[in-house]
């Protein structure tokens, strides 16, 4: 990372951080040094932000789709122009390295999703058109959208929320995670260089701020990505205002490797399906079921990659794995691996902290010969530890993979893609990938089933999710 990018990141930070002596100090995830001071805004300040967004919404809506799309493209250009500075700040605050499927990748996704939002059409749908009746279904702005984001992909997921909302004529009040507020506020500041005033407002606060945002009487739609437990609280908070909800909640994604698959051909993709963002990804593979006939080969191949992949400070251009973002998540990963060890599971590689790298680093870990009832299998680890589970009967493997109360993503792996495709629908998940895991496309809808939430994001379905419908019905052709 160049000195120029670091200087530009510092300038962005100065635009959004709290004054000296105020706010909440945010640490560098890798070094634990203080990066800056996040504003801590009160519920009264949130109320004011929502009032300003409410006042701005009719004018923003009146601009029309074409003009709003132009402004979204300008916002994407602004992100691209500041991408290195934003990636620098993101890497320090979240911990993810600059390279690999990490910080620079995330900034590229931000502008790509905005450009797709701008280009996607959502035409009026003609329902009936005959001699007696002409009826159309129209999609209109919901009003003011409350966007509550996570700490793992803080910029990209914020764009997933605010991009379609703005495109459809809504205004947005966005609350970042308490762990990663600075990079999100910097992103919003860059976008607000080109957007009209009060169309997009960032509010940095604690959980009480998030609860108020979900329950506020002037919020028409809430979008949330995070844990299932917090999602349930948001559902409760929204009972009073009847805000529409899109909830992308916890996952415990399973992958199944079918017999006859070449372990070496899939090992690299298997690894990154689980370890992208150091495992801190909702739709990362959290459990891997492998047929007995190739089990040892798959375990050995994954362990070889895990032991060799560079881990360390994200600003080092060589690294592609970073620290856990926060102490709470580090403790969860440590607890689950230690429980697996105590149960007699085999720690093939990793299985311990890496204190020489920093306080929150945990080595990439492959755990073999583990039972389904182990906590590492039943709970979402959200970190760099993958349990690899042996099976001998394919039907049994699908039953075991589906025996959890979440269903965000899943994958099926085979040297015969058609065999995998035929088996894919047996998975109880919102998305099933074939010979890959976790890849997303801005035009392909994404969402979960069971306790992984509800509502779809991306593409046409994503635009619909931030809209309200209106049926316009009148005389037909004879009329």
Average pLDDT score over residue span 125-130: 96
What pLDDT digit, counting tens, does each position of 335-364 carry? 999 999 999 999 999 999 999 999 999 999
Q: In whole angstroms, what is the distance from residue 33 CA to residue 26 CA?
A: 8
Please check whether residues 187 and 278 belong to one and the same domain: no
The pLDDT of residue 210 is: 87
Residue 282 annotated as catalytic: yes
Roughly how many angstroms between the first and final C-alpha of the chain, as a whole number?
Answer: 68
Q: In whole angstroms, what is the distance from residue 455 CA to residue 244 CA?
A: 10
**Quick check: 202 and 15 in contact, CB under 8 A?**
no
Average pLDDT score over residue span 149-158: 98
Please check whether residues 104 and 152 belong to one and the same domain: yes
Whose CA is closest to 229, among 336, 343, 369, 379? 379
Would you say residue 168 lies in a domain?
A: yes
Residue 248 annotated as catalytic: yes
pTM of the model: 0.96
220: CB partners within 8 A, 6+ apart: 142, 143, 144, 145, 170, 243, 244, 468
404: CB partners within 8 A, 6+ apart: 252, 254, 378
Q: In whole angstroms, what is the distance from residue 98 CA to residue 318 CA?
A: 9
Mean pLDDT of the chain: 96
What pLDDT digit, counting tens, does each position of 250-303 carry? 999 999 999 999 999 999 999 999 999 999 999 999 999 999 999 999 999 999
Domain count, the chain: 2
Question: Could you write out the DSSP letters of every residue in 154-198?
Answer: HHHHHHHHHHHHHHTT-EEEEE--SSSHHHHHHHHHHHHTTSPTT
What pLDDT digit, counting tens, does each position of 402-452 carry? 999 999 999 999 999 999 999 999 999 999 999 999 999 999 999 999 999
Please check whether residues 385 and 345 belong to one and the same domain: yes
Would you say residue 79 lies in a domain?
A: yes
Instruction: Enter the DSSP assignment of 277.
Output: G
Please check whether residues 19 and 75 belong to one and the same domain: yes
Average pLDDT score over residue span 389-404: 98
User: At 479, is the pLDDT very low, low, confident or very high (cuts 50, 70, 90)?
Assistant: low
Would you say residue 119 lies in a domain?
A: yes
Task: Name the phi and psi angles at 8, rounded to 5.
Answer: -65, -35
The pLDDT of residue 478 is: 77
Average pLDDT score over residue span 159-186: 98
Please check whether residues 223 and 348 belong to one and the same domain: no
Bridging pattern class, strands 221-225 and 244-248: parallel
Please check whether residues 230 and 299 belong to one and the same domain: no
67: CB partners within 8 A, 6+ apart: none
User: At 1, is the pLDDT very low, low, confident or very high (cuts 50, 70, 90)?
Assistant: low
Return the CATH number at 355.
3.40.309.10
Would you say residue 434 lies in a domain?
A: yes
Q: In whole angstroms, what is the distance from residue 146 CA to residue 164 CA?
A: 13
Bridge partners for 126 per DSSP: 136
Per the residue annotation, which of 106, 110, 178, 282 is the catalytic one?
A: 282
Instruction: Enter the DSSP assignment of 407.
Output: E
Please check whether residues 218 and 261 belong to one and the same domain: no
Please check whether residues 267 and 199 belong to one and the same domain: no
Q: Is 66 exposed, middle or buried (0-12, 13-18, 19+ CB in 10 A)?
A: exposed
Please check whether residues 320 and 386 belong to one and the same domain: yes
Q: Is 440 exposed, middle or buried (0-12, 13-18, 19+ CB in 10 A)?
A: middle
Angle, nearest 10°, between helix axes 228-237 and 207-215? 50
User: At 477, is the pLDDT very low, low, confident or very high (cuts 50, 70, 90)?
Assistant: confident
* Greater pLDDT, 289 or 20: 289
The pLDDT of residue 206 is: 85
Per the residue annotation, which of 93, 106, 248, 457 is the catalytic one?
A: 248
Return the CATH number at 208.
3.40.605.10
The pLDDT of residue 368 is: 98
**Quick check: 254 and 409 in contact, CB under 8 A?**
no
What pLDDT digit, counting tens, does each position of 215-244 carry? 999 999 999 999 999 999 999 999 999 999
pLDDT-above-70 percentage for the chain: 100
User: At 157, is the pLDDT very low, low, confident or very high (cuts 50, 70, 90)?
Assistant: very high
Please check whether residues 241 and 298 belong to one and the same domain: no
Would you say residue 117 lies in a domain?
A: yes
Please check whether residues 437 and 459 belong to one and the same domain: no
264: number of Cβ within 10 Å: 9
Would you say residue 446 lies in a domain?
A: no
Would you say residue 87 lies in a domain?
A: yes
Q: What range does the domain containing 260 cover?
A: 253-441
pLDDT-above-90 percentage for the chain: 96
Would you say residue 447 lies in a domain?
A: no
Please check whether residues 158 and 283 belong to one and the same domain: no
């Amino acid at each position: 990372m160049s000195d120029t990018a670091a200087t530009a990141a510092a300038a962005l930070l100065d635009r959004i951080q709290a004054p000296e002596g105020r706010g909440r100090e945010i640490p560098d995830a890798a070094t634990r040094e203080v990066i800056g001071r996040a504003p801590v805004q009160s519920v009264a300040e949130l109320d004011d932000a929502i009032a300003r967004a409410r006042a701005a919404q009719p004018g923003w809506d009146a601009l029309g789709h074409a003009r709003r799309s132009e402004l979204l493209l300008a916002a994407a250009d602004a992100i691209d122009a500041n991408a290195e500075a934003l990636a620098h700040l993101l890497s320090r605050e979240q911990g993810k390295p600059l390279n690999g499927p990490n910080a620079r990748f995330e900034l590229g996704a931000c502008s790509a999703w905005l450009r797709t939002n701008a280009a996607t059409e959502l035409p009026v749908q003609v329902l009936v058109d005959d001699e007696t009746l002409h009826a159309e279904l129209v999609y209109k702005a919901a009003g003011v959208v409350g966007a509550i984001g996570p700490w793992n992909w803080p910029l990209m997921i914020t764009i997933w929320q605010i991009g379609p909302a703005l495109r459809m004529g809504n205004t947005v009040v966005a609350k970042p995670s308490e762990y990663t507020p600075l990079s999100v506020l910097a992103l919003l500041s860059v976008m607000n260089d080109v957007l009209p005033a009060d169309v997009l407002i960032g509010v940095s606060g604690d959980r009480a701020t998030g609860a108020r945002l979900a329950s506020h009487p002037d919020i028409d739609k809430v979008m949330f990505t995070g844990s299932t437990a917090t999602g349930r609280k948001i559902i409760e908070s929204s009972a009073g205002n009847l805000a529409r909800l899109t909830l992308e909640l916890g996952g415990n994604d399973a992958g199944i490797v079918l017999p006859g698959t070449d372990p070496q051909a899939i090992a690299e993709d298997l690894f990154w399906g689980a370890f992208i963002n150091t495992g801190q990804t909702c739709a990362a593979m959290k459990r891997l079921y492998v047929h007995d006939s190739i089990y040892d080969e798959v375990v050995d191949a994954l362990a070889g990659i895990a032991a060799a992949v560079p881990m360390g400070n994200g600003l080092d251009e060589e690294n592609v794995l970073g620290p856990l973002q926060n102490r709470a998540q580090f403790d969860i990963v440590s607890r689950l691996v230690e429980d697996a060890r105590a149960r007699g599971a085999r720690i093939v590689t990793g299985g311990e902290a890496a204190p020489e790298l920093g306080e929150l680093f945990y080595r990439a870990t492959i755990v073999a010969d583990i039972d389904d009832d182990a906590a590492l299998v039943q709970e979402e680890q959200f970190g760099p530890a993958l349990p690899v589970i042996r099976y001998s009967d394919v039907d049994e493997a699908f039953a075991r993979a589906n025996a959890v109360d979440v269903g965000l993503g899943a994958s099926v792996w085979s040297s015969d893609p058609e065999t995998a495709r035929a088996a894919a629908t047996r998975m109880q998940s919102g998305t099933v990938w074939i010979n890959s895991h976790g890849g997303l496309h801005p035009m392909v809808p994404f969402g979960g089933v069971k306790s992984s939430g509800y509502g779809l994001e991306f593409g046409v379905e994503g635009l619909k999710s931030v809209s309200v419908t209106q049926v316009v019905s009148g005389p037909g052709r004879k009329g």
